[in-house]
Amino acid sequence: MEKKKALWIYENMNDIRNFEDEVHRIFTTGAIPGFVHLYAGEEAIATGVCAHLTDKDYITSTHRGHGHCIAKGCEVDGMMAEIFGRKTGLCKGKGGSMHIADIDRGMLGANGMVGGGFPLAVGAGLTSKYLKTGAVAVCFFGDGAANEGTFHEGINLASIWKLPVVFVCENNGFAEATPQSYSSGSKTIAQRSIAYDIPGETVDGKDLFAVYEAAGKAIERARAEEGPSIVECVTYRNYGHFEGDEQKYKAKTGPEKELADTDPIKVFRTKAIKKKLITAKQADEIEQLSIKKIDDAVKFAETSPLPDEAALYEDVFAQ
Amino acid sequence: MEKKKALWIYENMNDIRNFEDEVHRIFTTGAIPGFVHLYAGEEAIATGVCAHLTDKDYITSTHRGHGHCIAKGCEVDGMMAEIFGRKTGLCKGKGGSMHIADIDRGMLGANGMVGGGFPLAVGAGLTSKYLKTGAVAVCFFGDGAANEGTFHEGINLASIWKLPVVFVCENNGFAEATPQSYSSGSKTIAQRSIAYDIPGETVDGKDLFAVYEAAGKAIERARAEEGPSIVECVTYRNYGHFEGDEQKYKAKTGPEKELADTDPIKVFRTKAIKKKLITAKQADEIEQLSIKKIDDAVKFAETSPLPDEAALYEDVFAQ
Amino acid sequence: MARQSKITMMQAITEALDMAMEKDEKVILLGEDIAGGTTVDHLNGEGAWGGVFGLTKGLVEKYGHERVIDTPISEMGYMGAAVGAAATGLRPVPELMFNDFIGFCFDTLLAQGSKMRYMFGGKATIPMTVRTNHGAGASAAAQHSGSYYGIFGSVPAIKVVVPSNAYDAKGLLLAAIEEDNIVVFSEDKTIYSLKEEVPEEYYTVEIGKAKIKREGKDLSIVTIGKMLYVALEVAERLAKEGIEVEVIDLLTVAPWDEETVLNSVKKTGRLIIIDEANPHNNTATDIASIVSDKAFDYLDGPVKCVCAPNTPVPFAANLEKLYLPNAEKVLNVADELIADLK
Amino acid sequence: MARQSKITMMQAITEALDMAMEKDEKVILLGEDIAGGTTVDHLNGEGAWGGVFGLTKGLVEKYGHERVIDTPISEMGYMGAAVGAAATGLRPVPELMFNDFIGFCFDTLLAQGSKMRYMFGGKATIPMTVRTNHGAGASAAAQHSGSYYGIFGSVPAIKVVVPSNAYDAKGLLLAAIEEDNIVVFSEDKTIYSLKEEVPEEYYTVEIGKAKIKREGKDLSIVTIGKMLYVALEVAERLAKEGIEVEVIDLLTVAPWDEETVLNSVKKTGRLIIIDEANPHNNTATDIASIVSDKAFDYLDGPVKCVCAPNTPVPFAANLEKLYLPNAEKVLNVADELIADLK
Ligand SMILES: Cc1ncc(C[n+]2csc(CCOP(=O)(O)OP(=O)(O)O)c2C)c(N)n1
Ligand SMILES: Cc1ncc(C[n+]2csc(CCOP(=O)(O)OP(=O)(O)O)c2C)c(N)n1
Ligand SMILES: [Mg+2]
Ligand SMILES: [Mg+2]
């Protein structure tokens, strides 16, 4: 990993964390309405994967999409304004937290439908292959989403058409309040790759380097026209399923609690400094700047106007 | 295998074959309308599986359902009348070839929706487990159906709930004109069992004994409350996908042709006689009686009246 | 025996589920996180959630995970399993967490469950109640705010119920679960906390019957779900001008109660239907077309529909408010109809 | 340049697909067996099928498997892939083999494709034409004979086209593929072999415009798809009694052509809509409700809908015939409307 990349990674992970912590704080004030699902705790995944991508590559995301958006280059001002439902939002305030998108950045949208991203990513992969753009499509999905039929249909299509798609499972142990160990017939999600004769790997999703390496391999494979892979990243979410969740299902002790307490940002900071990829001073600076950046985003959102009433009727059809 | 069972098996295979050959013949006369998918060539599967079942057990079927119906005990008179669209049909002529059902026999319906049977079989398995009836639900499905999302969702549900369901894949190499080797990311369907941590086995679907044994094991496992299995039976259909299919995709030589030319009924006859399960004389008799039985069914259907017009409006709601 | 205080629609629904399960062992519930935390050790069999809105809270503790079944995120799988279970002797009550997920399980209702009895010549019986919810107004954005009871209602052999209040919700849900047919029971997620007096006893409210919530002789307003409250506000305001509005709460949207609606229109000669679904091919237009036909000679003015615009549901709070039918929009339409009465 | 002879609607559709692919490399087709036999050695790249009805025959030979893509039986997968491909620069034309399979892929249209542009504040463009077919009359039974264009039509941001003849089919399909929106193009499987004069050239027929197929001043009949021929028969028969029927072929059912329909009704004062869909919440009731409202002062009698009964499609030939709207049923209704004219 290059130093520049490591700096970007550290900044990006901090941006995600600060963004989510702020949204969490503001949600309790009532200024943000609706369903909000926070990504805090899972930063290493979006960051480690998107570190390999450029604007020409695509990602599909989930209901828990803020982290993917930031890692794929969406502006935090426009994101925060979107979550506030303001005119200056990335989607003019018409989408909200679950529907942030930025097609120009290859961000094909957070998605309120669990499992909705699989076919979309396959389609983006099809475009890439057909137009020979060299783009890769990454499909982020949860352990819960892996039980939707779209998982099966999507991965099978990508496999038989050898599409440049990488399926990244964010296995945070739960779908809402339902443990993955209950909802999934298979012990791991990665082992399901055998059903499609493609590679599948399970890695520590709290360790950026592990994610970075596994995703890098899968993305390279995709770019080399060798077809799709599944990369399963084991992780945990810091907050509840959505804001307001009592989280009674979370373990208070044992390995689950240890996983919960592992902070991927701290892990990265320590390792990256040790590997001399960043210095402590740089890290401190990034942390400070990131806080400021997110503060500014909140201010931007708070002071942005509501959408004009005419917007209700706009953007239905393309002309 | 008991001798009585072997006699039933030979009769049943002949009934299916004669039924289908007759429907094929009549279809060309125009007396049977609509879409008709024939089971000829695949007799060993329905027969070998249903040989383990009684009326209290359930099966779900496919668009290619005649064989399953006969093997599960549906009367051939009522079946033929149904295919002719007559009042005396098993469904009063309102269902037709793709929707023959006989709930009292545990036959939950042929199904025009590819992949439609998976969830239904799971439901029947749920009933059995909940009411502790000891019944097993068998879900017949094609290699093509295995690519529907319902395959994934259904088998995963059966796996996590340890339901008494056996998933029997009739892999006849094609879904319509599409080869299984193209449409499926995995080489076999059985290997997909790893995605659900359940047993999966591929057997020669032209060999009744192989099917009988594998299905017997899976059904026993289900009855012992150990959960579902996948049994993949490799087979071939004698006719086209549906009546009218030119079958250009079928190979004229090679292993595919050899598989096509293997007649499961002849294979069984020879083996069963050798194993002294039936005598040649018994077999001849069964063959003759079966022809007569199906002839009678055709006569029954042909001479049956059309449904009354009032039937159009009946059977929508239960009162 | 009247209970001390009013209860919410949410509580009424939970109570109905409880009573239905108490009464008949064959009633089982399936859905995502309707218990929550199944197999989590430290919960000791208790539910972690009781549904995303808490409607099934307490039931797993009483009836166990055998009857309050958490499902993976596999709508087609468990909804189809419910059809299969219904066909083989149980009375499943699956929950579709939001009606917006219809696209993940529509086949099991459209092509399987609703057609089996007919295709099989009357031999199948599918006693199954699909609980779901609809409605804008919760800032839940485009994929969690739709109103699709009209789509379910377009399918033959499916009954569709949309309760507007706690009393009817309880009675209708109990009636639905007693039915030997598929009933889609669609709750409006924004009125779960509305309170009403609700008897403690088991009772049913007849499916297929609308209720006249306010009598009037000048103008009929037919409403679906929470649109009732818009109509009542309109009635109140018009009463001040001496206009008497008859407000009819449809309750069952498929098959809807032609008799009650037609009788009212024959009396008033004027009809507005408020339906928060998108405006085309919905329940409102169905009613409008049938009333315009069958009550043609009684109408003093055109039948009017007040619906959502033909757009997805926007997220921004101001736009979402504008999206929903409200008293102003209805009054605008009413003014036209009653111009001659003023 | 007129070609020698008439061609079938089937041929016209194939021709349109061919021309659209010729014109724009970004047009690709996806569907089950639309080529057929992909990877079968002895076919040497030729298609084994060309679709279940042969509509895509010849295209894989011309454009290759890269553009005429056989899919596994995974409707949600490939329909959603089409949405994803459309959002990223292609112009996919997926085929849903029968509209009855809507329940397997509805989410990708209802919640994804149709909402993306709106939810994303106008940033997504989804140029995609879903070809499918509908209709009873082919003894295809309950799961292969439904007419669900009305369900697609209830979804905002989806246009729905139902051609009645070869000429319009070609022009409308080319127009659909040119559109930067989702268009569902629903063909009636029972009229594929109807012949018509069809120019060889590339031409488009405007989406959203109905066509007056016969002028008349006494009664308007609006039709969808093959119901046109029922109306023409009715017009012929009523002409003998001196009644002049105006027949309007809707062609686009969502958004349907209010202007043409209203103008006709304003002239004739009477309207019948024939729609073979099930009778509730369908296109016919939508038209009836809007016309009954907007043309209220022009109507000499109630707007009438002639639709299928509220049942699944029965298999038996005699019942299926009875299921479909026909001239007798329409004449019965017409007699009432025109009683005063006779
Ligand atoms: C089709 C569909 N089904 C159900 C839901 C409700 N839902 C939203 S998030 C969620 C859990 C998703 O779990 P997982 O995929 O593991 O993602 P995580 O929330 O853990 O990141 C559920 C059930 C939905 N939004 N869409
Ligand atoms: C949901 C759905 N998709 C597509 C079809 C059309 N169709 C009918 S049979 C068939 C092929 C099925 O192949 P397979 O499952 O292998 O069964 P087989 O016909 O070989 O017995 C297809 C695509 C359908 N009936 N239902
Ligand atoms: Mg999860
Ligand atoms: Mg097959």
Is the model's pLDDT at D303 over the cut of 60? yes
Strand partners, C245: C219
Handedness of CA D330, D333, D336, D341 (dihedral sign): negative
Q: What is the mean pLDDT of residues A128-144?
A: 98
Confidence of residue C1 (pLDDT cuts 50, 70, 90): low
Q: What is the mean pLDDT of residues B3-23?
A: 98
Residue B274: the pLDDT is 97
Nearest-angstrom CA–CA distance, B141 and B148: 11
Annotated catalytic residue within C42, C65, C134, C144: C144
Contact B148, A149 (CB under 8 A): yes
Whether residues D73 and B248 touch (CB distance < 8 A) is answered with no
Which residue's CA is minimally distant from atom 5 of ligand 1? A114
Residues having C-beta closer than 5 Å to ion ligand 4: B 142-144, 172, 175
From the list D106, D115, D282, the residue facing C281 with the nearest CB is D282
Q: Within its chain, how far is the Cα of B175 from the centroid?
A: 15
* CB environment B149-158: b (16+ within 10 A), e (fewer): bbbbbbbbbb
Tell me the residue type at D158. Answer: I
Q: What is the mean pLDDT of residues B277-291?
A: 98
Q: What is the mean pLDDT of residues D202-213?
A: 98
Nearest-angstrom CA–CA distance, A59 and A78: 18
Residues near C45 by beta carbon (within 8 Å), at least 6 away in sequence: C60, C61, C64, C65
Binning chain A into helix, strand and coil, the percentages to the nearest 5 are: 50, 10, 40
Strand partners, A58: A137
* Full 3-state SS string of B83-96: HHCCCCCCCCCCCC
Confidence of residue A125 (pLDDT cuts 50, 70, 90): very high
Nearest-angstrom CA–CA distance, A27 and B195: 39
Is the model's pLDDT at C342 over the cut of 90? no
Confidence of residue C205 (pLDDT cuts 50, 70, 90): very high
Tell me the residue type at C339. Answer: A
Residue D342: the pLDDT is 75
Counts for chain D of helices (H) and strands (E), in that order: 12, 14
> CA-nearest residue of chain A to C71?
A183
Q: What is the mean pLDDT of residues D14-33?
A: 98
Confidence of residue B244 (pLDDT cuts 50, 70, 90): confident
Residue A72: the pLDDT is 98
| Phi, psi (degrees; rounded to nearest 5) at C120 | -95, 15
Q: At what angle do helices B208-223 and B3-29 cross, to 10 degrees?
A: 110
Q: Residue B254: count other Cβ atoms within 10 Å of its Cβ.
A: 10
Q: How far apart are the first and last CA of chain D?
A: 46
Ligand 1 atom index nearest CA of A37 = 19
Is the model's pLDDT at D329 over the cut of 70? yes
Of the candidates C296, C297, C298, C305, the residue with the CA atom closest to the CA atom of residue C332: C305
Residue C309: the pLDDT is 98
Q: C4-17 pLDDT, tens per residue?
A: 789 999 999 999 99
Cβ of C53 less than 6 Å from ligand 1: no
- Bridging pattern class, strands D7-8 and D195-196: antiparallel
Q: What is the mean pLDDT of residues A227-254?
A: 96
Nearest-angstrom CA–CA distance, B202 and B305: 45
Mean pLDDT value across chain B: 97
Query: Mutating which of B150, B169, B186, B196 best tests the A interface, going by the most A Cβ atoms within 10 A?
Result: B186
Q: C164-188 pLDDT, tens per residue?
A: 999 999 999 999 999 999 999 999 9
Which chain D positions have a beta carbon within 8 Å of C109's beta carbon?
A: 103
Q: Within its chain, how far is the Cα of D164 from the centroid?
A: 7
Expressed in angstroms and rounded, the spacing between residue A251 Cα and the centre of ligand 1 is 20
Q: In what order do the strands lie in the sheet with C27-31?
A: C68-70, C27-31, C91-96, C128-134, C182-188, C158-161, C252-254
Residue C2: the pLDDT is 65
Of the candidates C181, C137, C188, the residue with the CA atom closest to the CA atom of residue C162: C188
Residue C202: the pLDDT is 98
Residue B101: the pLDDT is 97
Expressed in angstroms and rounded, the spacing between residue C16 Cα and the centre of ligand 1 is 27
Q: D65-124 pLDDT, tens per residue?
A: 999 999 999 999 999 999 999 999 999 999 999 999 999 999 999 999 999 999 999 999
Strand partners, A137: A58, A165
Is the model's pLDDT at B126 over the cut of 90? yes
Task: Calculate how close chain B gets to A150, using CA atoms only, in Å.
Answer: 6
Mean pLDDT value across chain C: 97
Q: D126-163 pLDDT, tens per residue?
A: 999 999 999 999 999 999 999 999 999 999 999 999 99
Mean pLDDT value across chain A: 97
Of the candidates C231, C224, C223, the residue with the CA atom closest to the CA atom of residue C327: C231
Reported ipTM: 0.98
Q: How many residues does chain A have?
A: 319
Whether residues C122 and B128 touch (CB distance < 8 A) is answered with no
Helix (H, G, I), strand (E, B) or coil at D307: strand
Confidence of residue A319 (pLDDT cuts 50, 70, 90): confident
Q: What is the mean pLDDT of residues A94-101?
A: 97
Expressed in angstroms and rounded, the spacing between residue A146 Cα and the centre of ligand 3 is 9
Contact C277, C148 (CB under 8 A): yes
Cβ of A205 less than 6 Å from ligand 1: no
Is the model's pLDDT at B226 over the cut of 60? yes
Ligand 2 atom index nearest CA of D101 = 1
Nearest-angstrom CA–CA distance, A102 and A109: 7
Mean pLDDT value across chain D: 97
Tell me, what DSSP letter sits at residue A101? -
CA of A113, nearest ligand number: 1
Find the angle CA(C247)-CA(C252)-CA(C257) to the nearest 5 degrees.
65
- Bridging pattern class, strands C195-196 and C7-8: antiparallel
Residue D2: the pLDDT is 65
Expressed in angstroms and rounded, the spacing between residue A179 Cα and the centre of ligand 3 is 8
pTM of this structure? 0.98
Residue D20: the pLDDT is 98
Whether residues A124 and D84 touch (CB distance < 8 A) is answered with yes
Residue B235: the pLDDT is 98
